[in-house]
Chain A
Amino acid sequence: MIVALSIFLITVGSIAFHFWSPWWWTEVASNWGNMDDTILLTFWITGAVFVAILFFVAYCVWKFSYRKDRRAEYKPEDKKLESRLTWATAIGVAALLAPGLVVWNQYVSVPENAYKVEVFAYQWGWKYRLPGEDNILGKTDIKYINDENPFGLILEDPNGKDDLLVDAQELHVLKDRPVKFELRTIDVLHNFYVPQFRGKMDMVPGIVTYYWLTPTRVGDFEVLCAEYCGTGHYAMRGRVVVDEEKEYKKWEAKQITFEKMLAKNRKNDNLQLVKKDK
């Protein structure tokens, strides 16, 4: 009796927790609200199975609890029942999978009008790079990374000269414009994750990974690293600000191009050399 009741209460309690606990996802801030929809669909289907099976177990434990004068039913198989259950499960699983694959297809197909932003990860922080006026991100190579050229842009590549370098933890993006994040890391694995955007992708040294999204509401969001990257992993946080066009332009105007940064760094270096000489 107690056992059956406990199983019943655990089931009811789980449902109650689901609907009434305050812990739930953040309000979505990108076009990936359909991921939330897929989760909700999964919740309804799996939730129904969860409740049905546990109520059944609780009923069995209550109803068929041991009595000396009774014997269990002797029924090793029931082909019909087994095949019905198999088909019902297969249909349920297909109902979960199909919408999931549709959304995944959208997730991996970047719209052509998306503008590019490079997210640059290192142990333990973030930087960003915008393609500048020519809309092309210059090529990079690990070997070029030094104090003067912290992003490691290849100096000979003309496309890199007008790239805007954001040497700060904060990035601004435009509301309602699809943006493709090109993800680059110079050391270990990282993952550029903003809970409200839902999107996620590991950053892998040696290759450039990507994902895209369209921010749907103005706001100031925290960036977290979502792939373990060493002792400082938990502290690797940045910010993304979603702006309307006007605010965005203001922020963009404050960023400097690679060419200018190079000139500035060289000047600083020279000054330091002069100081050392004295």
Chain B
Amino acid sequence: MSDEYEHKLEAKSDYTGDASSVSTPDIDAVPDAELPDQELYHSHSWWTTYVFSQDAKYIGIQYALTAIGTGLLGLVLSWLMRIQLAWPGLGWLEPSSYYQFVTMHGMIMVVYLLTALFLGGFGNLLIPLMCGARDMAFPYVNMLSYWAFVVAVVVLLASFFVPGGPTGAGWTLYPPQAITAGTPGYNGGIILMLISLILFVAGFTMGGLNYIITVLQLRARGMTLMRLPLTIWGIFTATVLAMFAFPALLVGCLMMTLDSLLGTSFFMPAMVSLGETLTHEGGSPILFQHLFWFFGHPEVYIVALPAFGIVSDLLSVHSRKTIFGYRMMVWAIVGIGALSFFVWAHHMYVSGMNPWFGFFFATTTLIIAVPTAIKVYNWILTLWRGNIVLSLPMLFSLGFIVTFLNGGLTGLFLGNVTVDVPLSDTYFVVAHFHMVMGIAPILVVFGAIYHWYPLVTGRMMNETLGKVHFWITFIGSYAIYFPMHYQGFVGVPRRYYEIYDSPYIDVSTLLLNKFITIAVLIVGAAQLLFLYNLFASARLGKKAEKNPWKANSLEWQTPQMPPEHGNWGKELPKVYRWPYDFSVPGAKEDYIPQTQPPSEIIGAKVEKT
């Protein structure tokens, strides 16, 4: 292998790339910069530094904190629901409040927590740093994106205070019930929900354009696309998906708003509502479902792909080993992203659409399992013969593998149209999607926060607290969702305010419900531990050394840590390799940062990237 490498070095020395630095040896040549250095906005007051900030790092933190704050509300709502399910005799909630909480919990967690956190939070923090840019391409628009998100959250929360309360239509907001009497919040809450989503999409589009253009245009010299960390590949592809998927949600929301306020009939057929014949005529409720899931299924991957990317990097860094099959991983991310637009109607097998669609969508859905499986194989093959450090990010990554594998495999049940018939709309579905797009990505979020916390604050989070947090969260959430699948086999339908032991249920599901609820309360409470650790460590945490995990990617190679405004000091970084050169034979250290030129590691048997 070494000869091969020497040969490549010779070939490389043929071209003279770097005209400015004559003194560097030819083997260290990187292509010239194609764009002049970015001119940055420099804040000059407290307001423009901390509130209306245009620095992507701050915006990322703002996004993350707002998303986590909203997510906490979602968590509390889940407690309230679970208590109702376990002890229905208490009369704890009215049915209408139960359905309102279910709806708000779902929407908050999927859109306002996970989407905002992964793309707005981690995207803003990591894209410029990992690509080697000074900031996002359009810092001002980036700021607007965050504030549009804030307004969207405020409108969403305002719906708790309008007459009738927030909408109780379920997070899928299916018409006609979403806007007809019989569903809580059918004339007030639902409108605010729709407006909030419209604002979210508008804000997200501003951020999303930034993420895409920054990745495509502002990468450091030498940072080819195939040298990008998988984190960036995940976030980038997810953003592209969002750009195509969110418009479907947007028009769906607009049309439903018109149906409700102006009496149009996009989604409303002639119908009777609680004894009264409505004036709507000729609309199609299934049309909304198509629009919703054309957004909704890619949305699953909008959350999952950044998690896939991040976990790949965490696994590689903390097992001190090259990510296995990088190119396959990139193509799998892109392939999953593309396929995710051809599977949406697997959410609608029993929706009343033409049943012959089932053949098509079952086939596409099972095809998507192949690239997804490849990703799982490559993660575990990264562990094989690694040198695994059981740090907090590694623990959470392992937790991700377990829960994602479980949730991914149950996806093969639901995607297979026949198996879906008895299981759809039961607790099997609830268990499946919480495992695969709730717990698994959240574990990655935690791993990522423990991993990048020193980059943001310059301090480490407390390891002991982190370990307690990990074990309770991981074991606890597995104990919540694994048994829940079996309630689905029994046939317990979802979205039931009260399940009570029906004649068809042989064994008490109430018993299982109590167990699950207790686990929910414990897991929820453990998150307080995390929050304490998150905020207290900013002051009390151990000072982090530079590049504390000995990682290769660019964000750890800034002149200062935490990086300052503009990230890179005077000179932008130059990139000579991919970020996965760990444990290279012949190298002195077990890692070679992306910025380390070949002339400094002569003798290391590194493969060309």
Binds B, one of A194-202, A254-262, A263-271: A194-202
- The answer on a CB contact under 8 Å between A57 and B277 is no
Q: Verify if B151 is at the interface (C-beta below 8 Å from A).
A: no
CA distance A78 to B499 in the complex (A): 51
Number of chain A residues whose Cβ lies closer than 8 Å to a Cβ of chain B: 99
13 additional A-B pairs beyond A187-B272, A224-B493, beta carbons within 8 Å, are A23-B507, A23-B512, A25-B491, A38-B419, A66-B389, A76-B322, A145-B272, A145-B277, A191-B425, A195-B422, A196-B504, A226-B426, A230-B99
Which residues 402-461 of B sit at the A interface, judged by CB distance below 8 A? 402, 405-406, 409-410, 412-413, 416-419, 421-426
Q: Verify if A142 is at the interface (C-beta below 8 Å from B).
A: yes
A42-B416 contact given A74-B322, A206-B269, A231-B99, CB 8 Å threshold: yes
- The answer on a CB contact under 8 Å between A60 and B405 is no
A46-B490 contact given A64-B319, A89-B369, CB 8 Å threshold: no
- The answer on a CB contact under 8 Å between A74 and B585 is yes
Q: Verify if A207 is at the interface (C-beta below 8 Å from B).
A: yes
- The answer on a CB contact under 8 Å between A97 and B362 is yes
- The answer on a CB contact under 8 Å between A22 and B506 is yes
Please, what's the 1-or-0 string for A72-96, where 1 marks a CB less than 8 Å from any CB in chain B? 1111111001100110011001101
Closest 6 interchain pairs by CB? A195-B491, A206-B269, A230-B182, A73-B385, A188-B177, A72-B321
- The answer on a CB contact under 8 Å between A107 and B421 is yes
Chain A minimum-CB-distance residue to B169: A228
- The answer on a CB contact under 8 Å between A108 and B355 is yes
- Chain B residues near A99 (CB, 8 Å)? 418
Binds B, one of A47-55, A165-173, A243-251: A47-55
CA distance A36 to B609 in the complex (A): 49
- The answer on a CB contact under 8 Å between A202 and B367 is no
Binds A, one of B9-17, B72-80, B376-384, B524-532: B376-384
Chain B residues within 8 Å of A, Cβ to Cβ: 95-96, 99, 168-170, 174, 176-177, 180, 182-184, 269-274, 277, 282-286, 319-328, 350-352, 355-356, 358-359, 362-363, 366-367, 369-370, 373-374, 376-378, 380-381, 383-390, 395, 398, 401-402, 405-406, 409-410, 412-413, 416-419, 421-426, 475, 478, 482-483, 486-487, 489-491, 493, 495-499, 502-507, 509, 512, 580, 582-585, 590, 605, 607, 609
Q: Verify if A155 is at the interface (C-beta below 8 Å from B).
A: no
Say whether chain A's binding surface is mostly helix, strand, loop, or mixed.
mixed
Centre residue among B176, B323, B421 by max chain A CB count within 10 A: B421
- The answer on a CB contact under 8 Å between A66 and B390 is yes
Q: Verify if A218 is at the interface (C-beta below 8 Å from B).
A: no
- The answer on a CB contact under 8 Å between A200 and B424 is yes
Chain A residues within 8 Å of B, Cβ to Cβ: 3, 6-7, 10, 14, 17, 21-26, 32, 34-36, 38-39, 42, 46, 49-50, 53-54, 56-57, 60-61, 64-67, 70-78, 81-82, 85-86, 89-90, 93-94, 96-97, 99-101, 103-105, 107-108, 122-123, 142-143, 145, 183, 186-189, 191, 193, 195-196, 198-207, 209, 220-222, 224-234, 237
- Chain A residues near B176 (CB, 8 Å)? 187-189, 205
- Chain A residues near B180 (CB, 8 Å)? 187-188, 230
- The answer on a CB contact under 8 Å between B322 and A66 is no
A230-B386 contact given A25-B491, A100-B418, CB 8 Å threshold: no
CA distance A54 to B168 in the complex (A): 39
- The answer on a CB contact under 8 Å between A100 and B388 is no
A-B contact pairs, 13 of them (CB 8 A): A17-B482, A21-B483, A73-B583, A75-B385, A76-B580, A77-B324, A85-B377, A105-B359, A123-B182, A195-B422, A204-B286, A226-B425, A226-B493
- The answer on a CB contact under 8 Å between A7 and B402 is yes
- The answer on a CB contact under 8 Å between A21 and B421 is no
Minimum Cβ distance to chain B for residue A45 (Å): 8
- The answer on a CB contact under 8 Å between B490 and A96 is no
- The answer on a CB contact under 8 Å between A96 and B366 is yes
- Chain B residues near A53 (CB, 8 Å)? 376, 380, 401, 405
CA distance A3 to B399 in the complex (A): 10
Chain B minimum-CB-distance residue to A27: B506
- The answer on a CB contact under 8 Å between A76 and B326 is yes
- The answer on a CB contact under 8 Å between A24 and B182 is no
Minimum Cβ distance to chain B for residue A211 (Å): 8
- Chain A residues near B590 (CB, 8 Å)? 71-72
- The answer on a CB contact under 8 Å between A24 and B177 is no
- Chain B residues near A60 (CB, 8 Å)? 380, 383-384, 386, 388
Chain B minimum-CB-distance residue to A11: B402
Minimum Cβ distance to chain B for residue A56 (Å): 6
- The answer on a CB contact under 8 Å between A142 and B583 is no
- Chain A residues near B395 (CB, 8 Å)? 3
CA distance A13 to B419 in the complex (A): 24
Minimum Cβ distance to chain A for residue B464 (Å): 14
CA distance A119 to B395 in the complex (A): 52
